[in-house]
Amino acid sequence: MAIKIIKEKCKGCTLCIKACPFDALKMVDKVAVVDEGKCTNCNACVPKCNFGAIEAAPEAEEVDLSAYKHVWVFAEQRHGKIMNVALELIGEGRRLAKEISDDTEVCAVLIGAEEDIAPLAQECIAYGADKVYKIADPLLKNYTTDGYTKVLEDAIKEYKPEIVLYGATHIGRDFAPRIAARCNTGLTADCTRLDVRVSSYIEFAKKNTTLDTSTLDPNDTSTGIKQTRPAFGGNLMATIVCPRTRPQMSTVRPGVMQKREKDENAKGEIVDVKTNISKDDIHIEIVDIVKSAKELVSLTDADIICSGGRGLGDPSGFELIKKFADKVGGVVGSSRAAVDAGWIDHSHQVGQTGTTVKPKIYFACGISGAIQHLAGMQTSDIIVAINKDADAPIFEVADYGIVGDLYKVIPEIIAEWDNAEALYDASTK
């Protein structure tokens, strides 16, 4: 809830407007009006009003943190196929659950039509879920913001999870903010790291054994998560906590977390959640789903990625990168500079504003290594950089660096690859 303006007392002095750091106030007919969409309840305007015309936003209702338990992962699926990021998050959720307490469970949440999600429940368990909440209804067959928000909000209010994780996909980025707003809690978007945070008292006392802890509550044994994400264009990493509300919510980039090994013999509980949804709850109708006819690239699942950057010189350079990728069994990636120049489609972009990848081998061809690009590929198993500039930042993260003209280096690599294949074929005859 935002601040409240008492119209009868407002004198139209505009002092509150000057004090608002979020541009949430304006004058209409010489009376201050609040834009509730912009107001953050900071109350900076309240002491500036000399006429008592502003009522402070009420304090948020205190939440009983102890009532919330377990880690939930939204197991995003599309047409009966679970997204890879969901499996990565189940593995990450299991790690967090173990660090929080022995009795904390990692739970997958499947939403959709029964025929699509029923076969996926055991798959979630095989990848580490202790429990699967299955929310099935024919109205949920295709994703709609209204429908999915309604059923997950109801489930969260009933079961009270402590943490809810979503993949930072198109669906996750649309879905998670709605749920956070409905649950009156915070959301940290595009996380690249999650860590367990113990209560302020325990954490402070461990690190500061000789300092005064009288202002901290010794009975506070709550836990939480530290959510780390790039900020200010990737120039620094911000760590965010949500100490007063629950559940704690994060969207996590695909390819950042480690997926667990699949265990076909794993056991877990499957819970059928009762839904209370009708057509009236969904305000749009999906008439048809039209898939793009253009060639799309799946960077997150690729074992080998050959990426080109500004060093290619012009768009024709991607013909060489495509030939290179085809030869080594990889896919074509790109830096943001090449995409912004219109040389290649955005679906190929690797980096902070593109796709985060973790292939076995990443070839960076003519890419200088801006921090935004490094944020999206530096966890690759092996990084091979090819660049004429020996001082390019990409060499700082590369496992192998080749200083030279990519138009000479790449054809030589392709030729050597052909020679190696010929030798292999000869040895197997």
- The answer on 358 and 332 residing in a single domain is yes
- The answer on 417 and 315 residing in a single domain is yes
Q: Is residue 286 part of a domain?
A: no
pLDDT of residue 201: 46
Q: Is residue 18 part of a domain?
A: yes
User: pLDDT tens digit string along 15-27?
Assistant: 999 999 989 999 9
Three-state DSSP at 27 gives strand
Of residues 62 and 229, which shows the higher confidence score?
A: 229
- The answer on 150 and 48 residing in a single domain is no
pLDDT of residue 59: 66
Boundary residue ending a domain (281, 316, 340)? 281
Phi-psi region of 69 (alpha: psi -120 to 50; beta: other; left: phi over 0): beta
- The answer on 223 and 117 residing in a single domain is yes
Which residues lie below 8 Å from residue 146, measured CB to CB, with a gap of 6+? 281, 282, 283, 284
Q: In terms of residue numbers, what domain contains 51?
A: 4-55
What are φ and ψ of residue 212, in 5° steps? Answer: -70, 125
Q: Is residue 86 part of a domain?
A: yes
Arithmetic mean of pLDDT, 268-287: 93
Q: Is residue 289 part of a domain?
A: no
Owner of token pair 């690009």: 373
- Cα separation, 196 vs 97, in Å, equals 9
- The answer on 240 and 191 residing in a single domain is yes
CATH value at residue 314:
3.40.50.1220
Boundary residue ending a domain (14, 33, 55)? 55
pLDDT of residue 6: 94
HSE, side-chain direction, 13 A CA sphere, residue 145:
13
Arithmetic mean of pLDDT, 26-53: 90
The answer to whether the CB of 108 falls within 8 A of the CB of 124 is yes
- The answer on 248 and 332 residing in a single domain is no
- The answer on 340 and 238 residing in a single domain is no
Q: Is residue 294 part of a domain?
A: no
- The answer on 152 and 132 residing in a single domain is yes
- The answer on 254 and 309 residing in a single domain is no
- Closest Cα to residue 366, out of 327, 315, 417? 315
| First-residue to last-residue Cα distance in the chain | 76
Look at the chain and report how many structural domains it folds into. 3
- The answer on 74 and 50 residing in a single domain is no
Residue 208 has which token pair?
Answer: 């500061």
Segments in 219-378 forming alpha helices (H): 317-328, 336-340, 371-377
* 328: exposed, middle or buried (Cβ count in 10 Å: 0-12, 13-18, 19+): middle
User: pLDDT tens digit string along 302-317?
Assistant: 999 999 999 999 999 9
Residue 254 has pLDDT above 90, yes or no: no
- The answer on 102 and 237 residing in a single domain is yes
CATH value at residue 9:
3.30.70.20
Residue 308 has which token pair?
Answer: 């080109």
- Cα separation, 394 vs 385, in Å, equals 7
Q: Is residue 195 part of a domain?
A: yes
Residue 130 has pLDDT above 80, yes or no: yes
Boundary residue ending a domain (233, 252, 281)? 281
When the pLDDT of each residue in the chain is averaged and rounded to a whole number, the result is: 89
pLDDT of residue 43: 87
pLDDT of residue 199: 56
pTM of the model: 0.71
Three-state DSSP at 332 gives strand
- Closest Cα to residue 191, out of 76, 68, 301, 352? 352
User: pLDDT tens digit string along 73-127?
Assistant: 999 999 899 999 999 999 999 999 999 988 999 999 999 999 999 999 999 999 9
Question: How far, rounded to the nearest angstrom, does the alpha carbon of residue 10 sit from its chain's CA centroid?
Answer: 43
- The answer on 308 and 199 residing in a single domain is no
For the chain, helix (H) and strand (E) counts, in that order, are 12, 21
